[in-house]
Amino acid sequence: MRSEAVITRLEQITAEWLTGILTRNEALTEGHIAALTLDVDARELSTSVRLRVEYTAGAAGARPEKLFLKMVNADMEVEFFGPSEVNYYVRDYVGVPDVPIPRCYDAAYSPELRRYHVLLDDLADTHFASWNRPPTLEHGRALAEGLAALHAHWWDAERLASAGEPIHDAAAIRRFVSIAEPGAGHIINACADQLQSHWPQSIYTLYAQHPARLIDRTRDANGFTLIHGDTNLSNILIPINGDRPLYIVDRQPFDWSLTTWLGVYDLAYTMVLKWDAELRRALEKPVLEHYHAHLLARGIRGYSWEQLWQDYRLCAPMAVYVATEWCRGGLNRDTMDSWLPMLQRAMTAVDDLRCAELWA
């Protein structure tokens, strides 16, 4: 459900407001909400509110007792989040079976205020972020299934254009790369002793030559789709018990992010940036094969396993851009324990997959 008004203040979260939302969603068919308890986590750009709901006697319907409200200030002065997260929950995958998205009861985005909110099921009792558990093959397969469900729905240039999300042109790709490029120099100048001896030159060569290969790849639309773009471990929610269903949340691209790209990028992002190298080496091919099989099962034709593997090799070096972007404004020592391991994993994957052959 999409609302007209964006929730920007805690005072707007009332029993009357929530009764109306749940009634429109048919989650409340009789009665109304008697009381709300709010657990608030306020941060610089967003406020998360866990709602505990009590209903009047005789209330009927699904009557969710726990909900999660996210209120976002999308304006970061020099860059901003658009309506992507709202569209993710209420537009882009409506009616698509088995998508790994929590139920959304309400969402709204205001371009004037550059703010938005989303109201979802609270999954805290059943799920947690995937960084709490080492990846396994079965987890990788579950992730591949969920991403295949998302990607297959927007798998061709005509569908993307119909959503106002055409495949990015060369200028957009160059901008995406240029945002991160200064960080490479800052890191190499300060941290060369924590990189393998050949990596500094390899990183400079990658920045010089890899973007042209990305641009070349856009000449063939097969493989491109609407991507999540930030499948980090915090955005993948896994069951406390078992591997399914998992959920992928927080699609919040910046205005310079790539939003339509090769679908396999979402798997490369997770496996290359976030999984230890030994696990990635052991699991990446079986996971990618499972992803390919589920694309085929969802009606994708003409996209071979060989092409998917080449696209994965092309996307893996993009992890270098993600890691170095953390330091685009200078060496970010406060978050070094995040971006340095990511860069080390990314360059290890570039070596393992012999990605430099793609631009040699």
The predicted-structure confidence for 11-43, as pLDDT tens digits, reads as follows 999 999 999 999 999 999 999 999 999 999 988
DSSP assignment of 268-300, as one string? HHHHHHHS-HHHHHHHHHHHHHHHHHHHHHTT-
Question: How many whole angstroms separate alpha carbon 154 and alpha carbon 266?
Answer: 14
Name beta bridge partners: 73: 115
What per-residue confidence (pLDDT) applies to 1?
Answer: 60
Question: How many whole angstroms separate alpha carbon 166 and alpha carbon 158?
Answer: 8
Give me 167's structure tokens: 């495949």
The predicted-structure confidence for 338-356, as pLDDT tens digits, reads as follows 999 999 999 999 999 999 9
Distance of CA 357 to the CA centre of its chain: 28
E runs forming strands in 299-344? none
| Banded model confidence at residue 71, pLDDT cuts 50, 70, 90 | very high
- Per the prediction, the chain carries an average pLDDT of 95
| Banded model confidence at residue 223, pLDDT cuts 50, 70, 90 | very high
| Banded model confidence at residue 218, pLDDT cuts 50, 70, 90 | very high
State the CATH class of domain 10-121: alpha beta
Contacts of 225 (CB under 8 A, 6+ apart): 150, 151, 152, 153, 154, 155, 160, 260, 261, 262, 263
Torsion angle of C-alpha atoms 147, 152, 153, 158, degrees rounded to 10: 130
pLDDT above 90: residue 181: yes
For residues 71-83, give the mean pLDDT: 77
Q: Burial letters for 183-218: b for 16+ Cβ neighbours within 10 Å, e otherwise?
A: bbbbbbeebeeebeeebbebbeebbeebbeebbebb
For residues 198-225, give the mean pLDDT: 97
Q: Give domain 135-236+255-358's CATH architecture.
A: Alpha-Beta Complex (3.90)
- The model's pTM is 0.95
| Banded model confidence at residue 46, pLDDT cuts 50, 70, 90 | confident
Domain range summary for the chain, segments of one domain joined by +: 10-121, 135-236+255-358
The predicted-structure confidence for 81-106, as pLDDT tens digits, reads as follows 789 999 999 999 999 999 999 999 99
What per-residue confidence (pLDDT) applies to 234?
Answer: 95
Contact 295, 265 (CB under 8 A): no
Write the burial class of residue 267 (CB in 10 Å: 0-12 exposed, 13-18 middle, 19+ buried): buried
State how far the alpha carbon of 287 is from the alpha carbons of 129, 140, 245, in Å.
20, 6, 17
What per-residue confidence (pLDDT) applies to 164?
Answer: 86
| Other beta carbons less than 10 A from residue 25's beta carbon | 17
What per-residue confidence (pLDDT) applies to 42?
Answer: 86
pLDDT above 70: residue 200: yes
155 phi and psi angles, rounded to 5 deg: -85, 65
pLDDT above 80: residue 63: yes
Write the burial class of residue 151 (CB in 10 Å: 0-12 exposed, 13-18 middle, 19+ buried): buried
pLDDT above 80: residue 114: yes
Q: Angle at CA 127, nearest 5°, toward 293 and 92?
A: 55
Q: SS3 for 358?
A: helix
What per-residue confidence (pLDDT) applies to 75?
Answer: 73
For residues 187-199, give the mean pLDDT: 96
pLDDT above 70: residue 79: no
What per-residue confidence (pLDDT) applies to 360?
Answer: 84
The predicted-structure confidence for 139-160, as pLDDT tens digits, reads as follows 999 999 999 999 999 998 888 9
What per-residue confidence (pLDDT) applies to 30?
Answer: 97
Contact 56, 34 (CB under 8 A): yes
Question: How many whole angstroms separate alpha carbon 133 and alpha carbon 233?
Answer: 10
Question: How many whole angstroms separate alpha carbon 115 and alpha carbon 169?
Answer: 28
Torsion angle of C-alpha atoms 135, 140, 141, 145, degrees rounded to 10: 130
| Banded model confidence at residue 78, pLDDT cuts 50, 70, 90 | low
Contacts of 118 (CB under 8 A, 6+ apart): 69, 70, 85, 86, 89, 104, 106, 107
| Other beta carbons less than 10 A from residue 296's beta carbon | 14
Question: How many whole angstroms separate alpha carbon 80 and alpha carbon 90?
Answer: 20
The predicted-structure confidence for 249-269, as pLDDT tens digits, reads as follows 999 998 899 999 999 999 999
Contact 215, 262 (CB under 8 A): no
The predicted-structure confidence for 285-337, as pLDDT tens digits, reads as follows 999 999 999 999 999 999 999 999 999 999 999 999 999 999 999 999 999 99
- 254: DSSP letter: B
What per-residue confidence (pLDDT) applies to 3?
Answer: 63
pLDDT-above-90 percentage for the chain = 89
Question: How many whole angstroms separate alpha carbon 31 and alpha carbon 313?
Answer: 56
pLDDT-above-70 percentage for the chain = 98
